[in-house]
Amino acid sequence: MLITCPAILASFEAVDTPSDGGSSVSLRWAQPFSGAVQGEAYVDIERRTVGEPAWTKLATLSLGDGEYVDQGTQDGVLYEYRIRPSGAEFDMGVTAGPVSSSAQWYSARRTPVAVAVLVCFAVIALVAWISKKAGEFYVRPIRGLQAVDEAVGRATEMGKPVLFTPGWGGDIQRPTTIASLNVLSYVARKTASYKCDIYFPTHDPVIMTAAEEVIREAYIEEGQADNYDADNVFYTTSSQLGYAAAVDGIITRYEPAAIFLLGTFEGEALILAETGNSIGAMQVAGTDSTIQLSFFMVACDYTLIGEELFAASGYLTKDAKILSSVKVQDYLKLIIAILLIIGVVLASAGNTELADWIGRS
């Protein structure tokens, strides 16, 4: 259908796209009233650099779309835009411009993120102030961590070793692996002071190297450097089933009295936990995988659920900095919960402004 743009357009404007990184111009047009055009009408969007005679076609759109974003501009260059009936062979249409694109130093869409960052800093400052005033933070008892000393002591009394593994599913960059190594440091200090052997099989050479250093440092701190055996920390294989078979073999041969399954576990979780259960070992497990937690709960003596693993190092060492970080997370989760409740109440009342504002980021 051929149409005359001036007759059906109430407005046509071209503006630099707000809150972006540049190289973008937004076009908007509006029809004067509903029914100005019968049937589906299409228009061509064209562009030219100011001073050039020729127009370049950018897109063909439905008249009812009402907007188009040109993402192929050069910042600082002036452009003119034209909208005209699609397929028209004569020079007609409505123009807008000149306009140029530029990068904005601040994106209004990111305001919720900026507010969240400021809130985080405020909570950190508040917790630091409370820590200085009140001293040590209270952390609720976590039975699985309270059992660490009991498990190592049990292994010592029975004359059997301790086995510690971070699972197959992670690498040195995962938070669960880092949390696992923090707990390993505490367990290694206990095995050093009790003169109990500790075995650490892993699927990753980098984790193996880090664990060697953690255990060595723990033995040095306890004055037992001569009792440290580097051969007890070893790489098995990167294959999941191969790793599970290797650890199962160690469990059945050495029959450790205490087994710590702390880290990122996948399908090998139940295999390892059932093997440890079959030899009567006292098992403490923990992971952030909700799928594997159920297996640990039924096969292990104690299970650290989700964030309990991340709080473990602070709980065991009573380190003020780690406990403060745990407390900051608790406060932030409380703020998020309050926002969710407020958002649900407002949305139920038909007001979605809060949800829309947060969703803009």
Statement to judge: residues 170 and 82 lie in one domain: no
Cα dihedral sign, 55-61-63-66: negative
Cα 198 versus chain centre, distance = 33
Statement to judge: residues 187 and 313 lie in one domain: yes
Statement to judge: residues 154 and 78 lie in one domain: no
Statement to judge: residues 116 and 204 lie in one domain: no
Of 302, 264, 265, 270, which Cα lies nearest the Cα of 285?
302
Statement to judge: residues 268 and 175 lie in one domain: yes
Residue 170: CATH number of its domain = 3.40.50
What is the predicted pLDDT for the residue at 73? Answer: 84
Statement to judge: residues 194 and 312 lie in one domain: yes
What is the predicted pLDDT for the residue at 34? Answer: 45
* Token couple for 293: 């937690």
What is the predicted pLDDT for the residue at 3? Answer: 45
pLDDT tens string 182-227: 899 999 999 999 999 999 999 999 999 999 999 999 999 999 998 8
Statement to judge: residues 164 and 313 lie in one domain: yes
Residue 24: CATH number of its domain = 2.60.40.10
For the chain, residues with pLDDT lower than 50 are 1-4, 33-39
What is the predicted pLDDT for the residue at 246? Answer: 94
Statement to judge: residues 117 and 201 lie in one domain: no
How many Å apart are CA 351 and CA 361, to the nearest integer? 19
Statement to judge: residues 197 and 274 lie in one domain: yes
Statement to judge: residues 156 and 209 lie in one domain: yes
Domain count, the chain: 3
What is the predicted pLDDT for the residue at 275? Answer: 94
Statement to judge: residues 346 and 207 lie in one domain: no
Single pTM value for the model: 0.66
Statement to judge: residues 118 and 267 lie in one domain: no
Can you give the residue range of the structural domain that contains 250? 143-317
